Structure 1
Amino acid sequence: MAPDRDEERELLARARALDPDAWETVYRRSYPRLVDYARRRLPAGADPDDAVSEAMARAMDRVATLEDQGLRLEAWLYGILRNVVLEHTRAQGRSAPAATEEQLPHPGPGPLEELLDAELTGSVRRAFTGLSDDDQEVLWLRLVARLSSAEVADVVGRREGAVRQAQSRALDRLRRRLEEVHP
């Protein structure tokens, strides 16, 4: 469950004061999804934990300048992590690769539907990895990271309406690709 706006403002104030408990809260609630994002976006062989650690260090260095725009602190962290990933990718001289099946989060199948879940999960993963990097990023941030349209807009540098439109189009493409891989 996402924190309410007052809780988020209070957490931001504590983080600005470099309260270790506030940073631990931010870390615990954000770290798993940040690592998944980095794992999916980084070139093969790059360490997603290192990228998240770098993003957290940058966040702590810059938190005093963060303005309260009503966005969650986690959205700001995704923006910093996105820059870390892009810098790493540029340094490697490659563009960010599409996620492989092994890099995407694996939901646990129910005990009675293990075979069907495995087949459907594989189909969704194949369809997802066939999308463009931009489509994957928008869907990942909206659906997996659970950022709002406004938060994703802030992370990727687009307008909120453009993010909603990109999400809608990406979902349409995902649906079509899913029909191709799992008729």
Structure 2
Amino acid sequence: MAAAVAPAKPVAAYGPQDEQFRQLVDAAVHGNSVATQRVLESIRPIVLRYCRARIGRLDRSFASADDVVQEVCLSVISALPSYRDQGQPFLAFVYGIAQHKVADAHRAAARNRSLPVPEVPDRPETVAGPEQRVLQDELKGNMDRLLAVLSDKQREIVLLRVVVGLSAEETADLVGSTPGAVRVAQHRALTRLRKLVGNTKEF
């Protein structure tokens, strides 16, 4: 009889060192299809938030955050049989895959900028109209300019802590730091962003 498999819940609900989630991953690595499904259901929300923060909607490309999440999940499934616990959280393994897929999406968007947009969309258009699209693009542009003033590591910390919603401990595991250093970096980054917003009309 197959071993009982824990019900799916977001990774953040388990905690970075949760033994139950480790057992779930171990079962998935050893070919338990139910455990594999539970692992995917657990990581998908956090991967989706990360991809939306890093990608949003890439204009004139054929990739969206949802597309990239699908690619990440497929890559995780493919890599599971060879995954070995080397003392790092499983989320760090997933995060590495997500980083590569996000970079691939940005490169694809750069190549596809000159390509025509399909006449018939694959899914119903949810944007209210051109005015809302302009406002969304302006907001995204402002946010991109703000984040651009931060170092790469500060930017990742802000995205992981504020947008994705990871704890300082989880974020530290992903960026190779300590929880205390993550909190300090986050505080300094947000202080800098608030100062920029308060002192200039450019943003």
Check whether TM > 0.5: yes
Are residue 181 (structure 1) and residue 197 (structure 2) matched?
yes
**C-alpha distance in 2 between matches for 1:131 and 1:164:** 22
Output the CA distance in 2 between the equivalents of 1:148 and 1:62: 22
Report matched runs for 1:3-18 at 5 Å: 3=15, 4-18=17-31
Could you tell me which runs of 5 or more consecutive residues in structure 2 were left unpaired when the two chains were aligned: 1-12, 112-134
Task: Report what 2:187 is aligned to.
Answer: 171
Contact 1:127–1:177 (8 Å) recurs in 2:
no
Alignment correspondent of 1:138: 157
Q: TM-score of the superposition, structure 2-length normalised? A: 0.59
- Is 1:69–2:86 an aligned residue pair? yes
Label 1:137 to 1:13 Cα distance change in 2 as closer, same or farther (>3 A): same
Work out the CA distance in 2 between the residues paired with 1:171 and 1:145. Answer: 15
* Structure 1 gaps, min length 5: 95-100, 104-121, 154-158
Q: Give the CA deviation at 1:77.
A: 1.4
Greater helix share, 1 or 2?
1
Q: How many residues align?
A: 150
Distance in 1, Cα, partners of 2:39 & 2:64: 21
Indicate the SS of the match to 1:93. Answer: helix
| CA–CA separation in structure 1 for the residues paired with 2:14 and 2:86 | 17
Kept in 2: contact 1:142–1:148 (CA 8 A): no
Q: Is the 8 A contact 1:15 1:23 kept in 2?
A: yes
- Indicate conservation of the 8 Å contact 1:72/1:151, yes or no: yes
Q: Distance in 1 between matches of 2:136 and 2:24?
A: 34
Q: Any residues of structure 2 matched to 1:1-183 within 5 Å, and which? A: 1-3=13-15, 4-42=17-55, 44-45=58-59, 46-93=63-110, 130-132=146-148, 134=152, 135-143=154-162, 144-146=165-167, 148-153=170-175, 159-160=176-177, 165=181, 168-181=184-197
Q: Secondary structure at the match of 2:187?
A: helix
| Alpha-carbon distance in 2 for matches of 1:78, 1:137 | 11
| 8 Å CA contact 1:38, 1:51 repeated in 2 | yes
Partner amino acid for 1:137? E
Question: CA 1:128–1:169 in 2, change beyond 3 Å: closer, same or farther?
Answer: farther
* Greater Cα offset, 165-174 or 126-135: 126-135
What amino acid maps onto 2:48 in structure 1?
A: V
Deviation at 1:127, TM superposition (A): 7.3
Select the structure of larger CA radius of gyration.
2
RMSD: 3.3
Is the Cα contact below 8 Å between 1:14 and 1:22 reproduced in 2? yes
Cα gap change, 1:177 to 1:141, in 2 (>3 Å)? closer
What is the CA-CA distance between 1:47 and the residue it aligns to? 1.2
User: Identity of aligned pairs, percent?
Assistant: 23
- Tell me, in whole angstroms, the C-alpha distance in 1 between the residues paired with 2:89 and 2:177: 15
Distance in structure 1 (CA, Å) of the matches to 2:186 and 2:77: 33
1:13 Cα deviation (Å)?
A: 1.1
Measured against aligned partners, the alpha-carbon deviations of 1:128-178 in whole angstroms (never above 9, x if no partner) come to 96123723322222452336245213xxxxx425x8646623421312322
Query: Greater CA deviation, 26-35 or 131-140?
Result: 131-140
